Structure 1
Amino acid sequence: MDSTIQEKIISIIKEKFEGDILSIETPYNFLTINLKQDNIIEIIRYLYNHPEAKFQYLTTVCGIHYPDVKQIAIMYQLHSLTNNWRVRLKIYLPEENPVVPTLTTVFAGANWMERETYDFFGVKFTGHPDLRRILNVEDMIIHPLRKEYPLEDQTREDKKDFMFGR
């Protein structure tokens, strides 16, 4: 994306929420804005209703576990179909009790993505209409995409490292 468009998106967010911006990055030329978690729904609603930005398409809601800093990030990717602009918004939650308000009040399509994030990372979305596991069994006690769990079952006897060239 052109740097002038990125600056325009940043200025739109700064109009009302400058104090919520933690940092701005452009990995792989994709505008990424790291925000405080407090006003994330208001910021997204503002971008949705903004007369110029019109970020009215939710591409992604997902979790990212950072075990080194004991945080779970929630990443929201928005797309303005009118302008063909994209932006990635990230907030950081504590690993021990990750809680954030639901985005289903702005995007009904966030329902499934939030359930998936809850299922795999344990993030609780307050106000969600049906927050329960969606892909794993209901009685599972872990959230498998957190990096605190081993990749393989350590109790299995039928899998020896030499069988896999290790």
Structure 2
Amino acid sequence: MISPEYVREMARYNQWQNKQLQAMMSGLNDDVLFQHRGAFFGSIMATANHLLWTDQLWLSRFDVMPAPEDDSAMGAELTSSFSEWEIMRFRTDVATQQWAEKLRAIDLTGELSWFSSVYGQRFCTPKWVCVANMFNHQTHHRGQLHMMLTAIGCESMVTDLFLLPEGA
């Protein structure tokens, strides 16, 4: 079982990592951001969109924010520009932080039930597993983004959890 303290630390880490990704992506033009690079979702932007979409989807299941409207291609087309993505990423990270700050141990108990349009079936899973999965999924796709960005010459970001700055 995870604790509210773990969730708060992961929410802080998530926001820190997303800020670093944003900084890496900010100097790139649309041709670079939307170019197919052989990743599962294709481009840097499509992968960043999918990550944002799934964060919003999990947060909607936790009753934090509305579900994302774009259900096509698992959110790979959620935003059509970097500036739109930046705004949505910021809002989602703030919502994640605010939710984590209010979370109590009891909020991580019990089961969460939902229907997945991706898998076409209903799931019923312990809440704490769903929360841990959300953070694990973020790490997975940020790794893909990091690889694509460093492969085109962007300076590598700091990813070690123990280096998370105080107040980040």
Question: Structure 1 or 2: larger helix share?
Answer: 2
Structure with greater strand percent: 1
Q: Is TM (by shorter chain) over 0.5?
A: no
Query: So what's the TM-score if we normalise by structure 2?
Result: 0.23
Whose radius of gyration is greater, 1 or 2?
1
